Structure 1
Amino acid sequence: MPPLSPASWRIALPHTTAAVPVARALVRTALAALEHPADSDTAELLTAELVANAVEHTGGDGPIELVVELMPTGCQVEVHDPDPAPPGDLTVPHQAGEPDPWQEHGRGLLLIRTLSSSCGHRPTDSGKAVWFTLPVVPRQRRSA
């Protein structure tokens, strides 16, 4: 298979929970359309977590933005939102331990930290971008 060419998408999403399934579908479609060898299921899950956090934890009714970059080494997904405050404990686990298994919320950042190859956040002109990267999955590990 020839080396993958870089590709990227930038899409505005509504600042509502309706953005979550749309973002998942966009990531799934982007990976499938280019037959990109990153793990689509993990990319969808972590994208859903980033978008849900942006919708739930940032104010305003302006759109949030989904940025998907597919590279020969993997993929990176960013979610831009209008709040400049950093997202909880994205890169450093909370000192109080793991999330309570009986609580409905509190596992999103743990999933992102655990399942991505790297993650973080950065300021933008209009707020912040929260991101994760996933590596290319070797052919023998991909499902048929």
Structure 2
Amino acid sequence: MSETRGLLRDHLRSWGVPALSDTAELLATELLTNALQHTAGGAVLTATLTSGPAHRLRVEVRDSLARRPRAPEPGAVSRALATGEHGTSGRGLILVEALADAWGAQAQEGGKVVWFELDAEEAA
């Protein structure tokens, strides 16, 4: 995981949006961890930065499990913050929901892709 975080950090720096590093690394690690814990086939992470009016970072994690993740229940983010829950698992998508500007999951042949986007315009 540390190699993946380092590569992502290097790309964000070279793309001129190093301010996205902390959030992007955290969320990418959460999605990768979920994929590796729930599949036997590994995972592939890709990151792209779009230009133009919708200047966004998109990170995708592809894996071999067709089952899509469930979105956190409404209010899960505020409940976790208010109660100070300190569980060691099950909070990855809560973090993605709370910190990403957009996220989702799509079925693909042989598995799925789970993705998140961060607004890069404000970070540039």
Shorter chain as denominator, the TM-score bin is: 0.7 to 0.9
1:21 matches 2:5: no
**C-alpha deviation, 1:36, in angstroms:** 2.8
| Identity rate, percent | 35
CA distance 1:136–1:48, shift in 2 (3 Å)? same
Decide whether aligned partners of structure 1 residues 114 and 120 sit closer, same or farther in structure 2, where only a CA change above 3 A counts.
Answer: same
- The aligned residue for residue 41 of structure 1 is 22
CA offset at residue 35 of structure 1? Answer: 1.5
1:87-144 C-alpha deviation (Å, 9 max, x unpaired) = 122xxx32694457132112110110110000000011120000000001536xx7xx
Specify which of 103, 118, 122 is matched with residue 134 of structure 1: 118
Residues 43 and 28 of structure 1, relative CA distance in 2, 3 Å threshold? same
**What whole-Å deviation, never above 9, does each CA across 1:50-106 have from its counterpart, x for those lacking one?**
001101122x2x3311111111211000000000001122xxx32694457132112
Matched residue type, 1:30:
H
Amino acid at match of 1:81: D
Distance 2:38 2:58 in 1: 22
Q: Kindly tell me the number of residue pairs found equivalent between the two proteins.
A: 116
Q: How does 1:1-144 map to 2 (within 5 A)?
A: 20-36=1-17, 39-58=20-39, 60=40, 62-72=41-51, 73-89=55-71, 93-94=72-73, 97=76, 98-99=79-80, 101-138=85-122
Contact 2:45 2:59 in 1 (8 A): yes
Considering fraction of residues, name the structure with more helix. 2
Q: Which runs of 5+ in 1 are unaligned?
A: 1-19
**Matched residue, 1:7:** none
> Which entry has the higher C-alpha Rg, 1 or 2?
1
Contact kept in structure 1, 2:36 and 2:42, CA below 8 Å:
no
Equivalent position SS for 2:115: strand
Query: 2:4 and 2:111 mapped to 1: Cα distance?
Result: 19
Q: Distance in 1 between matches of 2:116 and 2:86?
A: 26
Alignment gaps of 5+ in structure 2? none
- 1:38 Cα deviation after fit: 5.6
